[in-house]
A and B are shown apart, each in its own frame.
Chain A
């Protein structure tokens, strides 16, 4: 065995995802694996984030499945934006760094909705919090 060894449960599942600017953008809730038609080996193809995947992993398969189907219905062309191709991971360490903006991930949907539909309508919403 020559490659780097990782234990999925210990070193990937539940670990923090960060976008290209270092912003926190969810956790690794599951991994998608596919069998290579060439070698017959199983490879991890994508990171799955979001409550649907987490619920399924915790044994709540039906509820998790409904949430994932709902995500696909509202997503672009039936694509589930909770599924992040592993090719977008630029570094796998204590955190998993992604080459995407948090805004492009479904994990930011709730935050975005609250910002656009609630916070954005409050008087004084142009105030910017000090960084």
Chain B
């Protein structure tokens, strides 16, 4: 499958409440070394979900905006609106356009 099939998918809680849409995908380079290559494999770790504007695509998702205060206050709000949801906490059904959070999962606030 393609990574783009994840992007812009709606994410809902187990009881159907909308959390937002997938704005980005977090990868962790901790897999085995790729056969014939030099890089470790990139594991799909989490989706970054946000309800609002795509501030996350501009990079405001890592909690790293420290100043000046005006930018920090504006973009900090964007960062707080985004949450990372580990892939293991999502129920992923090909016939269902939305990703559903498992009932026992807790989103990781950015």
Which size class do B's interface residues fall under? Answer: 20 to 34
Given A48-B2, A87-B35, A90-B38, check contact A1 B30 (CB 8 Å).
yes
B25 contacts A8, C-beta separation under 8 Å = yes
Given A7-B24, A7-B27, A43-B42, check contact A53 B2 (CB 8 Å).
yes
Query: Which listed residue, B23, B36, B44, B57, touches A33 by the CB 8 Å rule?
Result: B44
**A37: chain B residues within 8 A (beta carbon):** none
Within 8 A of A (CB), among B15-34: 23-31, 34
A-B CB contacts (within 8 Å), total count = 106
Given A1-B45, A7-B25, check contact A33 B30 (CB 8 Å).
no
**B38: chain A residues within 8 A (beta carbon):** 90
User: How many chain-A residues does the 8 Å CB contact rule pick out?
Assistant: 32
* Whole-angstrom CA separation of A92 from B38 in the bound complex: 11
Closest residue of A by beta carbon distance from B4: A57
B44 contacts A88, C-beta separation under 8 Å = no
Task: Show the binding face of B for A, using Cβ within 8 Å.
Answer: 1-4, 7, 23-31, 34-45, 48, 56-57, 59, 61-62, 87
Having A3-B40, A9-B56, A86-B37, one finds 17 other A-B pairs with CB under 8 Å, namely: A1-B28, A2-B30, A3-B28, A3-B43, A7-B26, A7-B62, A8-B3, A8-B25, A9-B23, A33-B2, A43-B41, A44-B3, A44-B27, A85-B36, A87-B34, A89-B37, A90-B38
